[in-house]
Structure 1
Amino acid sequence: MLPRKQQSPPAFINSEPMPPLSNRAADNADAIRTLLGNPSDLSVRSFAVGANKHPCILICVDGLVDKTMVNDQILKPMMLRFEDAETPEPDELAAMLEQEVLSVTDVEAAVSMDDVVLGIMSGSAALFVDGTAGVIVLDCKGWKSRSVDEPQTESIIRGPREGFTENLRTNTALVRRILRDSRLRFDSIKIGRRSKRDVVLMYMDGIVNPKLKAEAIRRLKSIDVDDISGSGTVEQFISDSFLSPFPLFINSERPDKVTGGLLQGRMSILVDGDPFALIFPVTFSSNIQSPEDFYQHWLIASATRLLRMMSAFIATFLPALYIALLEYHHGMIPSSLAFSIAGAREGVPFPAVVEAFMMEGTLELLREAGIRLPKPIGQTIGIVGGLVIGEAAVAAGFVSPVMVIVVAVTAIASFLFPSYSFAIALRLLRFAIMLSAAFFGLYGIILAYIVINIHMVNLNSFGVPYTAPFAPFYKGDWIDLIVRSPATMLNERPVIVDPLDITREDVKHDGDANEMV
């Protein structure tokens, strides 16, 4: 694994120390009001239990807790249990409430004001019993969240239609429902000095390499910021290289894609408030693979992967090849095609490179506009805008019809990749290769190709070479690389992630029949 520099918090981040917990419930309530700035959504419920009217205070944040649970499982049981009876001593009363009275699933005892405030801000309720410094923190989260719906960024024809939501516990439940193995592990880490956001590291114990797990935990714990806005921020902090345009993580909304990665020996990260999971380590070939490949017949899946590989070349190099051939290497174009292109370009005042940058820049504007606008309008502007602008540009003589065809084919090819981040990387590289072709022709394209390959060979994703299993060469991993072999042949996990358990399935061959054991 690649070592990373350990970050240490600067001296100025140490905030004012929390006040200690008091034996008086009212003092603790006043301290919490002061710490939180006495907000309007802070609910402080004072009440008395038992015939001797022992004072208690329940504190929570309105909107973060389930009021029905608070009323039915906390307040009502306490008041009915000691309705006419004398309450015991405060410490004994607190223990009795925790063990016999409160009907909440998750009950914890807090011993510091910091734990109490964190629990309240996380959607729990804090119960103070007068006369004891102990605090009972009750999990009664009940904020509104989006329901499980179809993934918006990863549409497939055949496969599950469930996607992650912004609720962390919903997401972990979706993974557990698919992967019902007792060795599935969820390691929870709080990240962010101020937000203290929950981050879950998922892996399969007994499959994942312990060195990979230790490195992932170390990198996550080294993040020292006020808040992580989502999985994208985590990705940037723990990535092996922040200079590379290629994605070193796969982000996905699909639980089936995450579980597939876990069973291969990879790891995944979920961030509370973000519907995307990070899967790592990954390679270049991971960006052209889709969960749908495993739901289809192996011949169909293999043909689709080959199409994606061809599309990667088209989306990256087609405009540059057109520029190079048109500006420097006329002799390589067949005569009939050369005459046709020359006739189409008659009257165009700009060289091919200017044409290409104009059309590609316009296409990028339309793409971004389609994303930012509301869906009904955004879907229309991409098609109508492209047709109208392309037709008008050709009619005005600014660009040739051949350039419109080249740009259109390039755009279509860039839509074939399951990974949106990978498609963006190819879009960025396309402009750099076009510049290289404008200055040096085919020699510039070849030089750019060599530079890209040198860069990719030096990339790592948590210690795994980005170009594996091409380089370094792993023969066993080629059965699920460019082509997807039949399911009965996929009996080993990828060697590149170095899993502890390499065997994925036990396949017995008996003549022409395959029996899965």
Structure 2
Amino acid sequence: MPTKTKAKSLPDGQLDHHAINEFKDVPIRATIEENKKIMEELFKDSSDIVLREFDIENGPKAMLCYVDGMVTTSAVDDALKALMILEGNAFSIDRITEQTLPVTQASKIQFYKELLTNLLSGDSVLFVDEQDTAVCLGLRGGIRRSVSEPETETVVRGPREGFNEHLRTNTSLLRSKIKSPRLKLKSFVIGTETNTNVVLAYMAGIVNPKLLEEAEKRISRIHIDGVLESGYIEEFIQDQGYSPFPQVQTTERPDTVAAGLLEGRIAIMVDGTPFALLAPFGFWQWLQASEDYYERFMATTLLRWLRLGSLFVALLAPAIYIAVSTFHPEMIPTNLLLSIAASREAIPFPAVVEALIMELSFEALREAGVRLPKIVGQAVSILGALVVGQAAVQAGIVSAAMVIVVSMTGIASFTLPRYNAAIAIRMLRFPIMILASIFGLLGIIIGVMVVVGHLAKLTTFGIPYLAPVTPVDMSDMKDVMVRAPWWKMKKRPKYMGTSNVRRQRPEPEQ
């Protein structure tokens, strides 16, 4: 295996550089000429890197470096003005950092790794002649998307603000929800080329120390050239990579992340994406929406039962239709059986082929609706569902009963609040349909047993995926298939192993 060489200045003036981490031992040079030469070589053919040389009044030459489009131009102008006019005061690097610059964040740096990391994150860097220390100025700016309502997790009642692509905006939204010094935001930098900022959020005094230690260990083990979205992190930290079931929750909502942290979970936020990760994430979180905790508990409980029933419909409805119509027609009432037989009389395909044609067409229409512009996406979905479905029935390709079953399946899959969980159900629907076409209801039972067995064996950060139902804990059943009123949920879930299990203060004795 070839060994990596640390970045260094070679005799011929060329810089042997590979990644920012390899600049950790490269000191900042004491002359403007050397630093300018290094920067020009590093950012050759990079038109967005600005190197602005100027003279400090009553002082040496200086050079300000920044990435055009990632700084606030007015703040850069103010900083340059303050440096060019020192009002006759004696120059010193400490005075520049502590008094002269009109910048709230200014720090001294001595090595190129820290310099490059800050520069490419949007900070400005000041070099001063005859100084082997540079000054990092927090002048980040540029055009960023404003805080808006989450598009994938809309609610009738609840906060309407969602994360955006700016990490510090996201951490500030979270901090505004939890105004406590217990909220900790631990930083990581992942990606040898992208150097993406990643934040691990948790509540000190609540989170299970073992869970926190495991999360830090899994994040620290990630060695990749780039991280462009939180999905990169998700695949690295999940317990079982080959499982179709999500083991990490994704969300755009600060209130959802805050609620998870207060239950003892950990959150991971990645710069450049509005989707945060929450872990652990078990099966029963599939049925929970953020709105469940803002509406009255009786309505929420009803909705959870509806979602649970819809989950089984989305998974099993086509398979049950195939099994009953092919192997067990005696289970169908006579009038309904005659109606189904009449509608299938001219259909040249068996029921399983009908179902596959309709399901694949529905999935294609759903994908097309997502990829097309919003203006035409909805029109395409309606056109496909109404016109194509009706035309397929009239052409004798599929039966009307199959169109109804597939439509019910599609509607049921949309009731699940978690998009990544709905994808797992959509994938498992097809092998269960194949089993039903071969073995009838026995095939469905086999498929369901395999799925349940896999769920029972699955873990999420070491916690059973089906907890608290398996292993059963009656004290934690207040927020599973039913949602107890808030005044009844006095403790956090025990299966999380939180350091502080009590959510509400005990009532004072009379």
TM, length-normalised to structure 1: 0.93
Residue 495 (str. 1) matches residue 494 (str. 2): yes
Change in 2 beyond 3 A, CA 1:395/1:162 = same
Alpha-carbon shift at residue 302 of structure 1 (Å): 0.4
Give the drift of 1:50. Answer: 2.4
Secondary structure, counterpart of 1:479 in structure 2? coil
Letter paired with 2:116: V
Question: Which residue is 2:67 aligned to?
Answer: 61
Matching residue within 37, 60, 76 for 1:70: 76
1: CA distance between counterparts of 2:33 and 2:217? 41
Residue 32 (structure 1) aligns with? 39
Matched, 1:231 2:230: yes
CA spacing shift, 1:10–1:231, aligned 2, 3 Å: farther
State the Cα deviation string for residues 271-305 of structure 1 (Å, max 9, x = none). 00000000000110001100100110111000000
Partner of 2:98: 99
Residue of structure 1 equivalent to 2:404: 405
> Given the alignment of the two structures, is residue 154 of structure 1 paired with residue 153 of structure 2, yes or no?
yes
Shift of 1:507: 5.6
- Following the alignment from structure 1 to structure 2, what is the Cα–Cα distance between the partners of residues 178 and 486? 22
Report 1:169-318 matches (<5 A). Answer: 169-318=168-317
Find the partner of 1:50 among 52, 57, 61: 57
Superposition map of 1:118-137 within 5 A: 118-137=117-136
1:22-61 CA deviation, whole Å, 9 max, x = no partner?
110221022111111152221111111223x521111111
RMSD, aligned CA:
1.7
- Gapped regions of structure 1 (runs ≥ 5): 1-8, 512-517
> How far apart in 1 are the matches of 2:213 and 2:319?
44
Q: Deviation per CA, 1:237-273, whole angstroms, max 9, x where unpaired?
A: 1111111111101100000000000000001000000
Aligned twin of 1:4: none
**What's the CA shift string for 1:426-449, capped at 9, x where partnerless?**
000000100010111100000001
8 A Cα contact 1:54 1:130, kept in partner: yes
Query: Do the aligned residues in 1 keep the contact of 2:282 with 2:464 (CA within 8 Å)?
Result: yes
Aligned twin of 2:10: none
Equivalent residue number for residue 376 of structure 2: 377
Q: Would the alpha carbon gap of residues 383 and 14 (structure 1) be closer, same or farther in structure 2, given more than 3 Å must change?
A: farther
The alpha carbon displacement at 1:103 in A equals 2.3
One-letter amino acid of the counterpart of residue 505, structure 1: Q
Q: Residues 27 and 132 of structure 2 are in contact (CA less than 8 Å); yes or no, is this contact kept in structure 1?
A: no
Using the alignment, how far apart are the partners of 1:11 and 1:64 within structure 2? 35
- Paired residue for 2:429? 430
Contact map agreement 1:324 1:438 (CA 8 A) in 2: yes
The one-letter amino acid paired with 1:69 is A
Residues of 1 paired with 2:397 and 2:422: CA distance?
28
1-structure distance, mates of 2:2, 2:276: 30
CA distance in structure 2 between the partners assigned to 1:14 and 1:216 by the alignment:
30
Call closer, same or farther: CA 1:443–1:118 in 2, change over 3 Å. same
Q: What corresponds to 2:324 in structure 1?
A: 325
Count of matched residue pairs: 495
State the shift of 1:338 in Å: 1.2
1:508, distance to aligned residue in structure 2 (A): 3.7
Q: Give the Cα separation in 1 of the matches to 2:5 and 2:208.
A: 35
CA deviations 1:475-500 (Å, max 9, x no partner) are 11111110111111011111121100
Counterpart AA for 2:83? M
Deviation by residue 1:103-143 (Cα, 9 ceiling, x = unmatched): 21222211112221222111111111111101111111112
Give yes or no for the alignment of 1:453 onto 2:458: no
The Cα offsets for residues 279-336 of structure 1, whole Å up to 9 and x where unpaired, read as 0001100011001001101110000000000000000000000000011111111222
1:79 and 2:78 equivalent? no
8 A Cα contact 1:250 1:278, kept in partner: yes
**Cα pair distance change 1:14/1:26, threshold 3 Å:** closer
Identical-pair percentage: 42
Greater than 4 Å deviation, 4+ residue runs: 9-15
**TM-score scaled by length of structure 2:** 0.94
How far off is 1:468 after superposition?
0.8
Q: Secondary structure at the match of 1:468?
A: coil
Q: SS of the residue aligned with 2:472? A: coil
1:395-444 residue CA offsets vs partner (Å, 9 max, x unmatched): 01111111010000000000001100000100000001000101111000
**1:391 is matched with which residue?**
390
Kindly indicate whether the alpha-carbon contact (under 8 Å) linking 1:488 and 1:507 is maintained by their aligned counterparts in 2. Answer: no
Mapped contact 2:307–2:415 kept (Cα < 8 A): yes
Q: Does the Cα contact within 8 Å between 1:175 and 1:255 map onto a contact in 2?
A: yes
Looking at structure 1, the residues matched to 4 and 386 of structure 2 have their Cα atoms a distance apart, in angstroms, of: 56
Rate the CA distance shift 1:12–1:430 in 2: closer, same or farther, 3 A: farther
**Shift of residue 79 of structure 1?**
2.1
Shift in Å, 1:21? 2.1
Separation of aligned partners in 2, 1:510 and 1:396: 75
SS class of match (1:343): helix
Structure 2: 5+ residue runs without aligned partners? 8-15, 18-22
Q: Following TM superposition, by how much is the alpha carbon of 1:11 offset from its aligned partner in structure 2, in angstroms?
A: 4.5
Distance in 2, matches of 1:451 and 1:148, equals: 43
Shift in Å at residue 84 of structure 1?
3.4
Segment of structure 1 superposing worse, 329-338 or 203-212? 329-338
Q: 1:11 to 1:433 in 2, by over 3 A?
A: farther
SS at match of 2:477: helix
Partner of 1:22: 29
For 2:137, the equivalent position in structure 1 comes to 138
Structure 2 CA distance for aligned equivalents of residues 401 and 25 of structure 1: 78
Query: 1: CA distance between counterparts of 2:343 and 2:190?
Result: 59
Query: Structure 1 residues 495, 25: CA separation in 2 closer, same or farther (over 3 Å shift)?
Result: same
